């Protein structure tokens, strides 16, 4: 009887222990009590965001060894935990796959644990009452629905369909500007008359929660679109100005500022779309703190260092290859960021010219310049398409040539386009300068040097030196406005770095190296085009001194001949002309026109670097445009003889092709 009692007691304890174990396990996995006892405020975006933060924090910090899982289940849960931690970190760097993973998890948490359903989801965003939707709500819904059909082209489709990228006048402004207003978004939303099911609604809510939790606030989805770039904090009143405004006596202006009718810095969101900077007047970060949060997170990929008051800017790239620049006070007047995107799939010469009149011959000419191994600069203002043009030209470099690239931040991403080619890219860091990077390039068996941007004196100086001896040819970009400005800027860089002391000697080195300049232009409407392609022709330094003084019998005659030689000397020293330049292609009346012929020296050099098939096609191209059937002896241009433009050069609409000295 005693043994039976003991056994029964043990059985009871075992049952109680098992029940207690399952009770504790269920309690740990169950939603918290404040979620179960719901009220009207439970399903607001703020409450749901708090819940998501708390649950994801619990999932990533739970000690799996305390739960008593089997070995297989423990391994599975550990992998899931690691994957979530990795995704939460990666999504802040611009990784769209990690972002998708985190959003799917949030979707499940809200639908399965938090109890969001068709009846209560409108408490977060009033989907059923369009009049209560804000312009941002309507834009988020529009972008989500278009993204289902067009993917990352969604924003482009909206802008093109409703002609949003056009100059327009808005209330209170006397000049037209590129802007998308709240009224336009509301009109588009009304015209679309979208029908959303529960999954669509919850997806919009999930995106709104995600962008304030791990994303980039109001620009989160816009940044992912296939546009040229996006920036924030670049217009409106900074916080530092608000205190000054408070001291003004203009009561009307003060009222407008207090009611946020005057844009603040945190209301500043601009996109760069097909060469146009367009302000998104309907979007805002809401507060200066939110703009600051975005600026502090958007540049963090690969740990580039801390953005601080002493180091007030950072240049980096994001995980998808976008270039990002972030600035902060006191270096700038407000927090601001600039994201520049480069669509590698569209970076071809055909896409760049877009089939305009004369574009076929222009594309052929550019291809032959690259195949002929000419040293080429691509110049123009910011945003005119220099990097895109450079990426398109690289396609025509022969496969046998090794390519070495030097950039400030990774932008070209050539290995994404040509994964089988021998390409290596270097960039500047806090400890390695552009000069040092170019020095390393010299020792990496490269045939072609590509410099993303000649922006500093050491890089410009080394580029000239490397083009002379270190590689077969060089491609680079520069911000010069005219060809003489380009030569002068490169010359001055060589002087400032101490490579040369004499201006004429430095300039002579530049013009001997530089073969062609492709100048790009962007008009006020955002249209981008090749304004000209210019050839640089060095002038031969002929020896014009004579020994005629020996033939003179009188001292006076000898002095005359001596002063003739002295005059030639001082002409060369003081104002010797080192080069002429002429346009071989121009953009005239919305048409690309091939004008002056390429010099025989460059034609000969191009032919020497082409393979047989390209050489045959190139000869036909030259004969077609300039009636040259074979290379002639190299013609040197004398300092006192102006080279004449050949008679067969076409003249269009009464305008003469440029021949400049």
SS3 label, residue 336: strand
299 and 438 fall within a common domain = no
Residues in the chain: 661
* C-alpha 265, offset from chain centre: 22
549 and 530 fall within a common domain = no
310 and 425 fall within a common domain = no
Q: What is the pLDDT of residue 545?
A: 65
378/516 Cα distance (integer angstroms):
9
Nearest to 204 by CA among 245, 147, 242: 147
- Conformational region of residue 329, where left means phi above 0, alpha means psi within -120 to 50, and beta covers everything else: beta
Classify residue 584 by its DSSP letter: E
Among 344, 367, 383, the domain-final residue is: 344
609/612 Cα distance (integer angstroms):
10
Q: Is pLDDT above 50 for 225? A: yes
Q: Is residue 323 part of a domain?
A: yes
User: Helices in 235-358 by DSSP H: which ranges?
Assistant: 239-246, 251-258, 288-297, 349-353
363 and 340 fall within a common domain = no
Q: Is pLDDT above 90 for 541? A: no
Instruction: Name the percent of the chain lying above pLDDT 90.
Output: 34
91/206 Cα distance (integer angstroms):
14
Q: Please answer whether residues 77 and 69 qualify as being in contact, where contact means their C-beta atoms are separated by less than 8 angstroms.
A: yes
Q: What is the pLDDT of residue 280?
A: 94
585/252 Cα distance (integer angstroms):
56
As given in the structure block, the two tokens for residue 167 are 């100059």
Q: What is the pLDDT of residues 237-295, one digit of tens each?
A: 877 665 555 555 555 555 555 555 678 888 999 999 887 899 999 999 988 999 999 99
483/639 Cα distance (integer angstroms):
19
Q: Which residues pair with 520 in a beta bridge?
A: 530
537 and 553 fall within a common domain = no
Q: What is the pLDDT of residues 599-631, one digit of tens each?
A: 989 999 999 999 888 999 999 999 988 876 554
Q: Is pLDDT above 70 for 157? A: yes
Read off φ and ψ for residue 350, nearest 5 degrees. Answer: -65, -40
Q: What is the pLDDT of residue 23?
A: 64
pLDDT grade, residue 527 (50/70/90)?
confident
468/460 Cα distance (integer angstroms):
13
286 and 222 fall within a common domain = yes
pLDDT grade, residue 313 (50/70/90)?
very high
As given in the structure block, the two tokens for residue 345 are 């799939």
Q: Please answer whether residues 456 and 439 qualify as being in contact, where contact means their C-beta atoms are separated by less than 8 angstroms.
A: no
Q: What's 280's domain CATH number? A: 3.30.450.90
Helix H or strand E encompassing 377: strand 376-379
Check whether the bond before 330 is cis (ω within 30° of 0): yes
Q: What is the pLDDT of residues 454-511, one digit of tens each?
A: 878 888 887 887 777 767 888 999 989 899 999 999 999 889 888 888 888 888 888 8
- Range of 232's domain? 125-344
Q: What is the pLDDT of residue 38?
A: 44
511/486 Cα distance (integer angstroms):
10
Q: Is pLDDT above 90 for 444? A: no
Q: What is the pLDDT of residue 658?
A: 47
pLDDT grade, residue 223 (50/70/90)?
very high
User: 26 or 215: whose pLDDT is higher?
Assistant: 215
Domain count, the chain: 3
For residue 417, give every residue at least 6 positions away whose Cβ sits within 8 Å of its Cβ, in sequence order, or none.
344, 347, 391, 395
Q: Please answer whether residues 189 and 219 qualify as being in contact, where contact means their C-beta atoms are separated by less than 8 angstroms.
A: no
SS3 label, residue 109: helix
552 and 536 fall within a common domain = no
For residue 88, give every residue at least 6 positions away whose Cβ sits within 8 Å of its Cβ, in sequence order, or none.
56, 60, 98, 102, 214
Q: What is the pLDDT of residue 639?
A: 37
Q: Which residues pair with 522 in a beta bridge?
A: 528
SS3 label, residue 447: coil
Among 575, 596, 625, the domain-final residue is: 575
**pTM, 2 dp:** 0.72
Question: What mean pLDDT is reported for the chain?
Answer: 82
Q: What is the pLDDT of residues 571-583, one digit of tens each?
A: 666 666 788 899 9
Q: What's 447's domain CATH number? A: 3.40.50.300
Q: Please answer whether residues 426 and 404 qualify as being in contact, where contact means their C-beta atoms are separated by less than 8 angstroms.
A: yes
Q: Is residue 294 part of a domain?
A: yes
Q: Is pLDDT above 80 for 11? A: no
Q: Is residue 20 part of a domain?
A: no
239 and 384 fall within a common domain = no
pLDDT grade, residue 207 (50/70/90)?
very high
Q: Is residue 525 part of a domain?
A: yes
Q: Is residue 286 part of a domain?
A: yes
Q: Is residue 386 part of a domain?
A: yes
Instruction: Name the percent of the chain lying above pLDDT 70.
Output: 84
Cβ neighbour number for residue 396 with a 10 Å cutoff: 15
191 and 307 fall within a common domain = yes
338/233 Cα distance (integer angstroms):
9
Q: Is residue 585 part of a domain?
A: yes
* C-alpha 551, offset from chain centre: 69
Strand intervals (E) in 226-372: 229-232, 269-273, 276-280, 313-317, 323-327, 336-340
pLDDT grade, residue 555 (50/70/90)?
confident
For residue 54, give every residue at least 6 positions away whose Cβ sits within 8 Å of its Cβ, in sequence order, or none.
32
User: 558 or 403: whose pLDDT is higher?
Assistant: 403
Q: Is pLDDT above 90 for 144? A: yes
138 and 284 fall within a common domain = yes
Q: What is the pLDDT of residue 656?
A: 44
User: 523 or 219: whose pLDDT is higher?
Assistant: 219
Q: Is pLDDT above 90 for 203? A: yes
Among 316, 344, 372, the domain-final residue is: 344
User: 643 or 199: whose pLDDT is higher?
Assistant: 199
Classify residue 473 by its DSSP letter: E
3/18 Cα distance (integer angstroms):
23
Q: What is the pLDDT of residue 230?
A: 94
142 and 282 fall within a common domain = yes
292 and 177 fall within a common domain = yes
362/353 Cα distance (integer angstroms):
9
Q: Which residues pair with 517 in a beta bridge?
A: 377, 534
Q: Is pLDDT above 60 for 227? A: yes
428/406 Cα distance (integer angstroms):
8
Least trusted range by pLDDT, from 131-145, 169-183, 550-564: 550-564
pLDDT grade, residue 565 (50/70/90)?
confident
As given in the structure block, the two tokens for residue 459 are 């890089």
Q: What is the pLDDT of residue 25?
A: 60
Q: Is residue 315 part of a domain?
A: yes
Q: Please answer whether residues 435 and 462 qualify as being in contact, where contact means their C-beta atoms are separated by less than 8 angstroms.
A: yes
Q: What is the pLDDT of residue 530?
A: 92
């Amino acid at each position: 009887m005693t043994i039976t009692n003991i056994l029964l007691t043990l059985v009871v304890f075992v049952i109680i222990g098992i029940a207690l174990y399952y009770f504790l396990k269920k309690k740990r996995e169950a939603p918290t009590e404040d979620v179960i006892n719901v009220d009207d405020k439970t399903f607001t975006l703020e409450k749901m965001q708090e819940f998501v933060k708390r649950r994801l924090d619990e999932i990533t910090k739970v000690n799996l060894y305390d739960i008593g899982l089997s070995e297989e289940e423990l391994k599975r849960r550990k992998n899931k935990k690691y994957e979530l931690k990795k995704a939460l970190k990666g999504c802040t760097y611009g990784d769209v796959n990690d972002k998708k993973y985190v959003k799917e998890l949030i979707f499940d948490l809200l639908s399965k644990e938090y109890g969001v359903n068709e009846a209560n989801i409108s408490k977060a965003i009033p989907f059923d009452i369009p009049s209560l939707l804000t312009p941002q709500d309507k834009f988020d819904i529009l972008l989500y629905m278009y993204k289902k059909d067009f993917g990352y082209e969604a924003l482009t489709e909206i802008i093109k369909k409703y002609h949003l990228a056009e100059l327009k006048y808005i209330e209170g402004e006397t000049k037209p500007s590129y802007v998308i207003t709240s009224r336009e978004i509301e009109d588009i939303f009304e015209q679309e008359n979208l029908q959303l099911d529960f999954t669509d609604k919850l997806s919009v809510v999930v995106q709104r929660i995600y962008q304030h939790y791990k994303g980039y606030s109001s620009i989160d989805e816009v940044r992912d679109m296939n546009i040229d770039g996006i920036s924030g904090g670049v217009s409106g009143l900074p916080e530092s100005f608000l205190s000054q405004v408070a001291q003004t006596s203009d009561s009307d202006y003060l009222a407008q500022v207090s009611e946020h009718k005057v844009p603040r810095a945190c209301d500043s969101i601009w996109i760069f779309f097909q060469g146009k900077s367009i302000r998104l007047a309907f979007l805002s970060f809401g507060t200066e703190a939110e703009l600051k949060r975005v600026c502090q997170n958007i540049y963090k990929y690969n740990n580039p260092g801390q953005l601080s008051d002493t180091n007030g800017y950072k240049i980096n790239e994001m995980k998808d290859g976008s270039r990002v620049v972030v600035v902060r006070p006191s270096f700038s007047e407000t927090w601001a960021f600039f994201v520049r995107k480069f669509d590698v799939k569209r970076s071809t010469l055909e896409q760049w010219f877009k089939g305009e009149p004369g574009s076929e011959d222009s594309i052929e000419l550019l291809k032959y310049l690259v195949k002929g191994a000419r040293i080429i600069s691509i110049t123009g203002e910011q945003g005119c398409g220099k990097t895109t043009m450079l990426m398109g030209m690289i396609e025509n470099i022969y496969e046998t040539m090794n390519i070495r690239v030097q950039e400030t931040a990774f932008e070209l991403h050539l290995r994404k386009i040509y994964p089988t080619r021998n390409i290596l890219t270097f960039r500047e860091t806090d400890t390695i300068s552009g000069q040092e990077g170019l020095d390393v390039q010299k020792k990496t068996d490269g045939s072609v040097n590509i410099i993303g941007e000649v922006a500093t004196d050491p890089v410009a100086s080394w580029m000239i030196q490397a083009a002379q001896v270190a590689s077969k040819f060089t491609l680079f970009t520069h911000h010069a406005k005219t060809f003489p400005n380009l030569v002068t800027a490169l010359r001055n860089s060589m002087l400032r770095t101490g490579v040369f002391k004499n201006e004429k000697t430095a300039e002579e080195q530049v013009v001997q190296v530089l073969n062609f300049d492709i100048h790009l232009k962007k008009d006020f409407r955002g249209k981008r085009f090749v304004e000209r392609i210019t050839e640089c022709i060095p002038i031969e330094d002929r020896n014009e001194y004579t020994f005629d003084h020996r033939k003179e019998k009188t001292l006076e005659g000898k002095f005359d001949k001596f002063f003739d030689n002295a005059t030639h000397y001082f002409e060369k020293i003081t104002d010797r002309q080192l080069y002429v330049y002429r346009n071989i292609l121009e953009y005239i009346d919305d048409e690309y026109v091939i004008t002056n012929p390429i010099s025989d020296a460059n034609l000969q050099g191009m032919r020497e670097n082409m393979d047989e098939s390209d050489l045959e096609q190139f000869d036909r191209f030259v004969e077609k445009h300039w009636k040259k059937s074979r290379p002639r002896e190299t013609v040197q241009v004398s300092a006192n003889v102006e080279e004449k433009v050949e008679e067969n050069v076409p003249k269009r609409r009464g305008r003469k092709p440029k021949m400049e000295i």
